[in-house]
Structure 1
Amino acid sequence: MRKFRISLLTLALAACAFGAQAAGPEIETLAGRARDLFDYGRWSDARQEFLRVRAVLTPSDRLLAQEADFYLAACAVELGSPDAEGALREFAERYPESVYANDVRFALGSFYCAAGNMEKAREAFAQTDYKALSAPRREQYDIRMGYVAFAGGDYRKAYDYFDRIGSRSEYADHARYYKAYIDYAEGRYGRAKQAFTALLRSDAYRDVVPYYLMQIEFREGNYRYVVENGETLARRAVPERRAELERVVAESWFRLEDFNRTLEHLAAFRKAGGEMDRDASYLEGFSLYRTARYAEAAEWLRKACGAEDALTQNASYHLADCYLRAGDKESAMQAFAMASDESLDATVAEDALFNYAKLQYELGGGAFNGAINVLTRYVERYPSSPRAEEARALLIAAYYNSRDYDAAYRAIKQMPSGDADIRAALQKITYFRALEAYKAGDMRAAQRYLTESAAVNVSPKYTALNAFWQGEIAFAQGDYPVAAAKYNAYLKRAPRTEREYALAWYNLGYCAFDRNDLGQAQASFRKFLAAWSPRDRYRADAYNRLGDAAYSDRRFEEAVGEYDKAIALATPEQQYARYKRAVTLGILGRTDQKQQALRQIAASGGDYADEASYELGRSYIAQEKYAEGAAQLEKFVAAYPSSPRCTQALSDLGLAYLNLGDKQKSLKYYDRVVGASPHSSEARGAMQSIREIYVSQGDADAYFDYAAKAGLESDLTALSRDSLSFAAAQKLYLDGQQEAAAKSLRSYVQSYPKGYYLTDALYYLSDCYLRSGERGEAIETLTALADRGTTQYTVAVLEKLSEMTYADERWDEAASAYRRLYDAAPTKTGREEAMKGYVRATVAGGDGAKIAAMAADVCGHDDAGAAALREAKYAWAGQLRAEGRRDEAVKLYRELAKDVRTKEGSEAAYYVIESTFGSGDMDKTEKEVFAFSEREPQAYWLAKAFILLGDVYVKKGDNFQARATWQSVADGYSPADDGIVDEAKARIAKLN
């Protein structure tokens, strides 16, 4: 702090103002000496003298006492005493009207300024009356307020304060320095250079000025000046300043293209403690690159990459060349991707984009069909480039090689369609896109793509195959005449060596079966067998159909031979062949062989075990072996209580025991028939037998009591009317008089709610409603029929009911129908399809509790089928995840992630990886992502995994690899409107 000069005139005026008595001569002499000591800056001595003055003052010496107290506080400030602030504030409180009050406020501001408390310094100076200060004090005020403003970043105000300091002031150099610095910081280099040059004569600033002068020369591009003077300055500088100087000298040598000297000074920069930021890393990397030290250069150039700016573009462009020289095409491709930003250097961007696209193609197209997207971008952006033709040729090749046909289709549709090569690629891609839609069950989309592919008609191969798959679609939709026409059109063009050639004959066999043309069916299946060599399910099925055709023509020995061929292939089709062979042996009179075969089928299980078990019982009864027949049928009823044949088996048991003379057992089984299906033709027959038994025992009243308890009609006249009414309605139905039949059947259902033909009537009525398009009435009738228990119609009714309620989004009804169908379906395939429908309907309903119950139910059945189990676990895991039970969800996701080719498996695998990431194990997360990518998952979830992989690299501090990973998603993934590309770009922007 500078000296406080107190004016004697001010003291004299103050004495007059207070009217106080003047102190004695000795005290005045002592006080004068104290003032002189203070003015000479001998603040410790001055303090001692003022303490002596204060000690001898009397109470009447108020003015001198006030002066002494002020100087004591001022000495405390100058001496840096801990109680300086307190002394000043105490003076202000004791003498609020003192002539020194303004000086005290100024002294407080000075104190706070020296202490570095700029906010309080600003407040104290703001309360100071600038005009009341003496001229020296004003200079002190200006220099200190200038510094306060400077420290606060207000350069404009600081400059104004410093500008008040005159050239003859003792603060002139300080003011000139700060003004020069502000000019330098704000880019007014000419004025700054002039001021700094003047300060070379200043004792205070001559050592620091050369540093700023060199910075100015550097910023003005005078690099030769910097290298000629910088080394000397750096040798003399302290370590912190030396690092900055070495950095500037290094970049100057870089600008002068002396890269060895650049590297030399960057090494000195690091040795002095300098940190290698992105810019310094680029200087190091590019200098190493220019001196052919490519491996070392790559390390530094990689560190310079990151944000979307010119530095990244230049660094990544040269980094790519380093990687190419090392044979690392994958990393080179990633580097070129970063350099391809057309908003920066256009020449670099074009070359980088071409090399990026070419390498993407050479490396297989990328995980997301990136080669197509990047090559398309190049052709569109640079159509006049000398390399456009090469890019276009690569693009066409990429289309042909693509396996992501949706992405390839979207890309090729953006290309001009007149070119023959492009049209040929479009024909192929739309063809394969149709096949993907077909496999997914989307027949409409498949047909649409095939139509588009056929319209191109460039490639004979794909034109022919197009006809085959149009036949497949028609066949799947049950339109066999159209299917046959398409297969025949294909066969006219197709080479016999193609897989589809044989399959066309196979499907033509089924088309002939549909129109009951058995001769043509046999011919088609034999042509299939001649063209098809694999001993697989297709071949076995063809033998079965040949056996069926021979069976229909009553060529039973030939039928047995065909079934034997199917059995020999040991595919699942052998179960049907074994059952049909057994039945055929019975027709041939080889009963013992038939029964032996049926026993083997029943014992081995499988889709036809129930059929074989029932047929075996019936065969014994046909031989009048009633005891054996009864025993077998009882086994059947116990093993297959839900079989559609169970009611008939109970009726057969009643007959068997009646023939065995056991009327009580006979009544027992007939009673079960009535209980199981009271309104069926089987129940009517059972009631007739029950009536005959009671009558034979001479107890007709017992029969009428039984009929009354069973709630069934026992009046013969009513039974006759029931039978006649149904017969009339049935005739209308069988004659195809749909409207009249529906009216008659409705009348029967309403008139005979306990009728014996109610089940048949409901079935026929539902069919009438279906044919007339009355969906609501059909569903209502099918539901009533399904609720009547197990009948011969149960499977067919539940199949139709589940299908219709699902299509109408009646989810709870559909789920119930599918679940009941699972219990009733006689075949493994039927049960799997039913359970799949049960899962999908429940999930579509969206009730979390029902989803959880469904999933537990499905997982408890081994024969639910892979699809149903997968979708049930997926839905269950999703429900657990939504409830925040993530650990439980991940357990299910781990099971699902075993097959990532499905949507559920891909998503599950992603959530498992996400869980690993959440645990903080970045190395394991990285390994899991790469393992995931090698298993051909669905593109969406693979892209999500790669975005997460970028997050892993950020956590590891590898911003280059993070940026490259996100760039690969942003450039290669499609479509661009499902959020993935936006998410990748957002990550890059955040990295910026």
Structure 2
Amino acid sequence: MKMNRMIAAIAVILIASQAVIPLKSEAQTKENLRAIDFYEKGLYTQARNEFEKLPEDPVNAGYALLCAIRLKTADYPAMLEKYMARYPYSGLMPEIRYRHGLNLFDAGNYSEAADVLSTVDEKGIDKENIAELVFKKSFAYYETRRYDNAMPGLERVDGMPLGDFSAPARYTAGSICYEREQFKEAIDWFSKSASDPRFSEISGYYIMDSKYMLGDYDYVISHSEEAYSEVPDDRRPHLARIISESYLIKGDADKARTYFEDAREGGNMDRGDYFYAGSLLFATKDYKGAVENYTKMTDRTDSIGQIANYQLGYSYIQTRNKVAAMKSFADASSKKFDPQIREDAYFNYAKLAFDLNNDSSVFERYIKEFPDAGRGELIYSYQALAALYNHDYAGAVAAYDKIENLDKDQAGNYMKANYLRASQLIANGAYRSAIPCLQAASSYAGRQSAFGQLSRYWLAESYFRDGQYSQAREIYTALYNASALDRRQEGKALSYGIAYTYFKEDKYDQAARWFDTYLKSGDRLYRTDASVRRGDCLFMNRKYDDAIAAYGLAIGDGPESLYPVYQSGIAYGLAGKNAAKIEMLSRARKASPSDPFWAESMYELGRAYVSGKDEAAADECYRAIVSSSRDTTFIARALIGLGMNARNGKNYDDALGYYKQVVEKMPGSEFSEDALLAIESIYQAKQEPEGYLAYIESVSRLDKSDTDKEAMLFSGAEQVFYSENYDKALNSLAAYMERYPEGGNYVKAMFYTAEAHRMLGNKEQACDWYRKVLDKAEGKVAEEAARNYATLSYGMERFEDALDGYVRSGNHVGSTLAAYGAKKYDAVPGYAEAVLADNSSTADEKRVAEFLKAKSLLATSHREEAYAIFAKLSSKTKNPEGAESAFLMIQDAYDRGDFDDVKKRVFALSDSGTGENYWMAKAFIVLGDSYADQEDFRQARATFESVRDGYKPGGSGDDVLDSVKMRLAKLTEIENE
């Protein structure tokens, strides 16, 4: 309680306590008896007149001055000054000082009063006045906050016989102790003063306040009704406040609120009042009221501000405003006054930043800031479940990987997340990246469980696709021996997989046996290919008749290419069955020249005709190759074949024409060498050496250097690559690189190798080779390699590699996409700005860049900046980015608890004619959630059911119907409660 209330109470009492006390004069002569009589009767005007008629001496002048002092005349200060100067040792001096001090006291001039009264010699005044002197001097000290000077006098009065100043002294002593926050001592003094009716009520009031300050809330509560009924109006609000707080502390929030409402009626509220009001309303679960009061605090940066922000955060959660809650928890976590509040506020801030902004960095900072809080694994589990819900299996795996010991449920989810992530990677062609996921999935699954066996099967497949054949075979064999995956296609293909691992390692006997095992199983899925590969194994082991039979099975199935026909033809030839070879290879005549083995088949058919002495039929085959094939190597062979037939028929000019075409088309190649030898022989046969010399001079034939030989070998490989026979090209390019590791065309050969793998669908191997090219190449080759490397890497979700490739190739759009995919959210705005600043960027590219910039800003908790962009993009909803932006605006309204805005925006999106049905469905789900939050369960159910019945999923990753199913199940639970 403020000091002036105490002073006012004492002052009223003291004024009523003053009395006229007679003075025992030191000079009672016959002449002044009349004057003294007037003085003692309090007739100070008459007394002064009489004293001033008498001769001046210390007594008469002193009494005249005392009369002036008692009358408080205007001239008494001058009289006092004159008297003290003339009679400093007068016996009336103590009385004069005493009376002057009382005047100063009455006038409220406590500082001077204390100084004057402290000079009074108690022996010079009546004993009856000593208690008043001591008290008023002490009270004057109290008024001037000289408590150390005041307390001894007050204690002295307390020790005197009970009198008018006993209670005031005790009350004042209690007030000093109260001011000093010595509440226990204050209670002792107030208890003494309370026995005086004058101080009973006010002392009881301060006893209550002191008990409250000492934490004796039971006392406050037990005396509350009596005290509250007696307290004056001016003190009622404060008493109501301490009673309210006592009830709140003791857990009776409703009673506390009753008294607080009375306290609030007492007048204007300050910052502390708003804090208490917010705290009280928070305790009574009036969260809206708590928000209203906490937000009226002018400053929330101190210790009570931290508490206010913390409870404000929870209040916003209860009123559905998660966005504001996030800000409040962030503010509370930024202060260190209460470590426990800071830690919990930080955790809630991090959770909301993750939920609302997809910003996981706050969780990371929380774990770093509070490593001993024990919430790390809880956070990782929460992040993992959120990732699973959003089909972000990579994120789920990453989160579970941070948990040291997974519980049963976590282990199950971790196993599924790894398997599903591997499925995504495999679908993208990233088998190597899938291996760790499948290893984890299979290690957590039981070896005999269908899930575990399926995980191991795909692990074997991934090993195989990555060229780790022994590892693949080990798993295939174990599964086969365990009769795993029975009745599933994967189980039927196990022997096929085992066979292929042997085949890739050139172990043809073992491969043939396992291909045979597969074929005998009756499964037809890989029957054609298995027959071909079994034929290849037999062919490599020179079992040509058996190979022909195996190829025949494949041919009967209608193979995709001429390969088994070609191989059968070769086998017939090697078995000495030329007619059968011709019959088999004649199938090529009806095939398309685009078939990878058409040129080979037609060439071998031509050779077979030559062996059968049917050069005309052979020439038809050769001419078909020259006119229709894109494989320059076979065109050269065909031309040489035509030249040979013409030469054998003595048609030398025709033969020279064919051979010279070879030299012109493939200069420096091995075919050119053969053609030049034939040309020399023909000129000799024609006995035209000068013609040969002239021809040689025209083609400037030189001896071949190593550089020429290298170029010739590379040229051949290059021609195969351009013929689009990529398997053969890989072999040719590998031969070149093995022979010329420092060759001038080595980098280009690496690039062609990467390109061949890309065209064959071997994405990871292609990226391996592109990476090698990037480490050595410059110029256009490096640019094209970077572009393809980035494209393939992005498709396999190797976003950091993709970012490297896009940056190297100067692709700003790709860089923006890849940086976002790699979750380098801080970098995305910079790449996006480059797109926006590029005049060559299309409108679609700019829109995508701006959208990803906004999502990255959101993911780094720059929420206002992000939503400014979303608001702009949401105006056009007929594209994916605009529709998603509109949805995010709806989600923001929901997160702020603005359900009217949710409804308005959902129907606006519906009316916009957007074709983005996924985001339209997601928007209606949020609308349903808003109905449920308002406990309009009937409307919520109708909304969810309309989505369920009308929505068609867009793919396996579509989560709409799963979300609806979960919500409908929850509504059913609520309705059945």
What TM-score results when the alignment is normalised by the length of structure 2? 0.48
The one of the two structures with greater contact order (alpha-carbon pairs below 8 A, sep at least 6) is 1
Q: Which has the larger radius of gyration?
A: 2
